[in-house]
């Protein structure tokens, strides 16, 4: 039985690989560049020694092909190939539109 299943697996070839695309959620803090937005991603981590919950943040430049995302929008970004010196992310979708005052 074991030899039959192994032979069947060899005939089909190697199993297709699933690629896991890294995604992050953050708020657009700048849209002044052409086809690029700056996204601030905040995460909450517990300090290893003191146990206090600390907010850490990182800024990423993300590609915005149609200049459709504005400052204050909540967006999801995904990792992609390097598009510029500091740009290796692409805006995947809009989660929440910015509130106008």
Per-residue model confidence as pLDDT tens digits over 47-101? 999 999 999 999 999 999 999 999 999 999 999 999 999 999 999 999 999 887 7
The rounded distance, in Å, linking the Cα atoms of 81 and 58 is 19
CATH number of 19-96: 2.40.50.140
Evaluate if pTM is beyond 0.75: yes
As a residue count, the chain comes to 101
Q: Which pair of tokens denotes residue 76? A: 């999801």
């Amino acid at each position: 039985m074991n030899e039959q299943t192994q032979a069947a697996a060899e005939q089909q070839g190697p199993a297709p690989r699933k690629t896991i695309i890294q995604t992050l959620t953050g708020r657009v803090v700048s849209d002044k560049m052409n086809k690029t937005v700056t996204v601030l991603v905040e995460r909450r981590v517990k300090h290893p020694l003191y146990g206090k919950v600390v907010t850490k943040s990182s800024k990423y430049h993300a590609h915005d092909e149609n200049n459709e995302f504005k400052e204050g929008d909540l967006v999801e970004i995904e990792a992609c190939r390097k598009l510029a010196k500091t740009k290796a992310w692409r805006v995947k979708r809009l989660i929440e539109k910015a509130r106008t005052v």
